[in-house]
Structure 1
Amino acid sequence: MKSYPDHKGNRISRRDLLQRGASAGALSLLPAGLRAATEARVPLTARNASFQLAPSGYAATGIWGYDGGAPGPEIRVAQGGRVSRRLVNELPQGTSVHWHGIRIDNAMDGVAGLTQQSVAPGDTFDYDFVVPDAGTYWYHSHDRSWEQVARGLHGALIVEEAEAPDVDREEVLILDDWLLNPETAQIDDSFDHPMAMSHAGRIGNYVTTNARFDFSRPVRRHERLRLRLINASNARIFSLQLNGLTGWTVALDAMPLPAPVPVEQDLVLGPAQRVDLIVDITAEDGETAYLLRRGGDNRPVSQAAFPVSGSASRARRAPPAPLPPNPRMSAPDLATARRLRLVMAGGAMGRMDSALLGGERIGFRQLAASGRFWAFNEMAEMTQEPLGDLSLGELVRLQIVNDTVFPHAMHLHGMHFRQVRADGAASPMRDTLLVAAGETREIAFIADNPGDWLFHCHMLSHAASGMMTWVRVT
């Protein structure tokens, strides 16, 4: 078993480290007045439930949901506030909760097998952490996530700015797809199917917004809305358009842009990515405005409808102001950055002949028989050693080479990054980057959060079949 030095130089096991970080160690940092409050955390119960997912006339769908809902309960907190939840596992298998995008304490990151033990059926785990950054986040299972997220284990986590933008109201829109049996409306249980593992991932046949196929909200002409869009699907890439709406992108993956950017072309949202929009309703009274997605035949179909009735004002407002920046958003000087490289290989129609699995190099056919179709740097499983062993505060440039014929949504836990552009311009901060087939991208980040942090493809079937690694910050 791995061991780590504590603050006195003594060696302790990972298990002891996790137990300290998740219990007494975390509580000892709290002011006395807050300790009692954390002892009575709000339960977040992962359990079986029946949910009317398909249209009326179909049977209710059996899902796994937080508190039995789809999506799970929205968690909303002010910037700088605390999230305290007690995960209660009523599922037939182990689970955990990852708080996606939050620059969080490592012991609270929720990655079973890396930052905590899996929470066994009937057991509980206490999550308690401060949210330093405002923005749109989400939470989801991170144990057998390719199955558990597909069954419904996810929800929105919203961190509100101290100074709210000038909007009339906001809508949190969780975009998802479900793979349902068209006869029974039950979730297809072929989670480990080689086609999903080796191709584009598990793509659903039933697309929803907030678990509804016909999502609709009434609006007024010239009303101004904030739309918080979250792609919670296992693998679907959403290509979105505005119709009857004039909009601006104001944040990506929770990080505010320096200035609002007008939406003039399709918005591409990969798995796990988020975008915050401010939109004005420009459709006429009696018409319907739409958030559209490109369907399988590339024709636009409704993702969310906004029927217009009445008017909020005679004229539109001036363009919106930018959101207030989060802490630690300055663009780094890359001159002294440490360079790392990650090569993605494998998948159907790929060129990977062999890779390492269990310490042995084996051929692709044997890898496929073991359920491993992908590799990072010729490793078809989670490595014992990190991709990078980094010092706290170290600046990193990571080149990502996609030597496959499929796109991959690469997610770094615990830290945000910027894409390094050829022209040297500073790109927006993100926590998930969509890397197209055959593409090479480079990201830069400051290793400013200590711990062991997962870096993986958020096409969840890809992660399960080889596309996972990690970095250590000490």
Structure 2
Amino acid sequence: MSFTRRQILAGLAGLGIAGLGASGVRYWLGRPNEATSHDYELIAAPLDVELVAGHQTPAWAYGGQVPGVELRCRQGERLRVRFINQLEVDTTIHWHGIRLPLEMDGVPYVSQLPVKPGEYFDYDFICPDAGSFWYHPHTASAEQLGRGLVGPLIVEEREPTGFVHERTLSLKSWHVDKQGAFTEFSVPREAARGGTPGVLSTVNGTHAPTLELPAGQIVRLRILNLDNTLTYRLNLSAGEARIYALDGNPVEPRALGKEYWLGPGMRIELALKVPAAGEEISLRNGPLRLATLLSVDSGESEADWPSKLPANPVAEPDLQRAEVLRFNFEWAGMVSANVEQTGTHTFWQINGQAWDINDKTCADRPIATLKKDGHYILELRNLSQYQHPIHLHGMTFKVISSNRRKIEPWFTDTYLLGKNETARIALVADNPGVWMFHCHVIDHMETGLMAAIEVV
């Protein structure tokens, strides 16, 4: 591993960043004066935001907004981001769902050292797959994601897809009280169950917004679950919608149906046929309204459904020669012995091993070692009564079967493992490195439900 990209800032002068004083535009995403080393400068910094009407919440923001500013690049192109840490704590950026080199993965003490206050780190990688992805820290995750350090990353297809209109909808619930003050991001009794939920739902940082869409058009809705904990039961009150992609990977277009369960870290791309001007559709989580989609006159003729999206260049696993590995996700049934010294609990484990977030050497003891370019089937067994969105860094896998529901195989990086469910996923281990394998309910991850898988 190389840490040559990590540099200490003597100050922010010379980076081509304007307006970093106490007044004016302090936080932004912009292009530097000299684009020889990077294309964008992304700042993480404190920002007061009005989540609860009439009250300020001391959030942490990427690019001056929460959720963070939307980053975009084209499939196959290089994304070069100089990340500047203006917080008072260490942090990193993990690029969720992107198949990239290990040194760009953003896991402290595994792929890089933490980016300290006043420092920067240059992230530089190719985006091989088109789709909807996102970025967030992998340091003190419950607090840092909880305070707002999440943001969408959209990788556009190489060629036009037939979609003329699109909207990105970032879903996040906030751990705040009625005065907008943060409450606890992780409560032990909740972490030992389904996770600690937030209480204020937002879409793009606003509670129950009204979003205008062009009448008669097919709009690509990129819906991202950037929540610490909640699984959304997404549904629409009316209208016709078809699923075009799951977690950044195209699927054969099909009707949305009654609802789709979108776990933390997961994404879905819908094509919505917008009704006549003046009509409204509710985007809901079960019976609860998340946003109102208002049709407005566009002056455009009615559009047709686009063709299915082109497949991403993910290697197809050979199930006939694949080696089978089994992973049990289970409650540990105890509190860690060092909780009084560290404040850290252990509630969860994988194959009898619990990850200790205070131990910087955990990744030195991977739970499995895969041969590069080997074909594998991973059997995921949930031995608990709670759902676990299981996420694998660095690689994309194919969901092939479940004992609880019918599976139409698809490629993904995060699978929502239901209570008492056994699912089988398959992959080609084509990306060398030590990769995190964890539940994306953040306080499950931080209380043991994470491991490392090594590809050599």
Bin the TM-score by the shorter chain.
Answer: 0.7 to 0.9
- 1:327 paired with 2:319, answer no
Quick one: distance in 2 between partners of 1:224 and 1:120?
A: 45
Show the counterpart of 1:456. 438
Q: Which residue of 2 aligns with 1:233?
A: 227
CA contact (8 A) 1:420 1:426 kept: yes
Q: Could you tell me which amino acid in structure 2 is paired with residue 131 of structure 1?
A: C
Q: Where in structure 2 are the equivalents of 1:109-188 lying within 5 Å?
A: 109-182=105-178, 184-188=179-183
Once residues 380 and 108 of structure 2 are traced to their aligned partners in structure 1, the CA distance between those partners, rounded to angstroms, is 25
The answer for the alignment partner of 1:336 in structure 2 is 321
Label 1:69 to 1:436 Cα distance change in 2 as closer, same or farther (>3 A). Answer: same
Q: CA deviation at 1:41?
A: 4.5
Does the CA-based 8 Å contact 2:6-2:115 persist in structure 1? no
Give 1:453 shift: 0.6
| 8 Å CA contact 2:201, 2:208 repeated in 1 | no
- Indicate if the aligned counterparts of 1:41 and 1:126 stay in contact, CA closer than 8 A: no
What pairs up with 1:93-104 in 2 under 5 angstroms?
A: 93-104=89-100
TM-score (norm 1): 0.84
Aligned mates of 2:107, 2:379 — CA distance in 1: 24
The question of 1:287 aligning with 2:279 is answered yes
CA drift of 1:367 comes to: 12
**Aligned-residue offset at 1:380:** 1.7
TM-fit CA distance, 1:102: 0.4
Q: CA deviation at 1:366?
A: 9.1
The residue identity in structure 2 corresponding to 1:378 is G
Q: Using the alignment, how far apart are the partners of 1:89 and 1:135 within structure 2?
A: 27
Q: In the alignment, which residue of structure 1 is the partner of 2:30?
A: none
State how far apart, in whole Å, the 2-side matches of 1:353 and 1:231 are. 29
- Counterpart in 2 of 1:247? 241
Aligned CA distance change for structure 1 residues 215 and 329 (closer, same or farther; 3 Å): farther
Match of 1:105 among 88, 91, 101: 101
Which amino acid in the other structure matches residue 105 of structure 2?
D
SS in 2 for 1:114: coil
Q: Can you give the 5+ residue segments of structure 2 that lack an aligned partner in the other structure?
A: 8-33, 357-361
List gaps (5 residues or longer) in structure 1.
Answer: 1-16, 24-35, 295-299, 347-351
CA change 1:120–1:375 in 2 (3 A) is same
1:414 aligns with 2:400: no
Contact 2:334 2:347 (C-alpha < 8 Å) held by counterparts: no
Alignment of structure 1 residues 3-402 onto 2, 5 Å? 17-19=1-3, 37-55=35-53, 58-182=54-178, 184-188=179-183, 190-257=184-251, 259-282=252-275, 284-294=276-286, 300-310=287-297, 317-330=303-316, 332-346=317-331, 352-353=332-333, 370-381=344-355, 383=362, 384-402=364-382
Residue 166 of structure 2 aligns to a residue in which SS?
A: strand
How far the C-alpha of 1:72 sits from its partner, in A, is 1.0
Structure 1 residues 441 and 450, CA gap change in structure 2 (3 angstroms):
same
Q: In 1, are the aligned partners of 2:282 and 2:289 still within 8 Å (CA)? A: yes
**Aligned-CA RMSD value:** 2.4
User: For 2:365, what is the secondary structure of its paired residue?
Assistant: coil
Identical-residue share of aligned pairs (%): 33
When residues 21 and 52 of structure 1 are mapped into structure 2, their CA distance, relative to the original with a 3 A threshold, is closer
Q: CA separation in 1, counterparts of 2:58 and 2:39?
A: 28
CA distance in 2, matches of 1:145, 1:126: 21
Shift of 1:368: 11
**Could you say if the C-alpha distance between residues 97 and 186 of structure 1 is closer, same or farther in structure 2, counting changes exceeding 3 Å?**
same
Aligned residue pairs, count: 422
The structure whose residues are more often helix, as a share, is 1
Aligned to 1:11: none
DSSP 3-state at the match of 1:147: helix
SS of 1:125's equivalent in the other structure is strand
AA aligned to 2:238 is G
Distance 1:192 1:435 in 2: 21
Give the letter aligned to residue 49 of structure 2: F
Residue pair 1:367, 1:373 contacting (<8 A) in 2 also: no
- Asked if structure 2 preserves the Cα contact closer than 8 Å seen for 1:285 and 1:308, the reply is yes
Q: 1:37 to 1:251 in 2, by over 3 A?
A: same
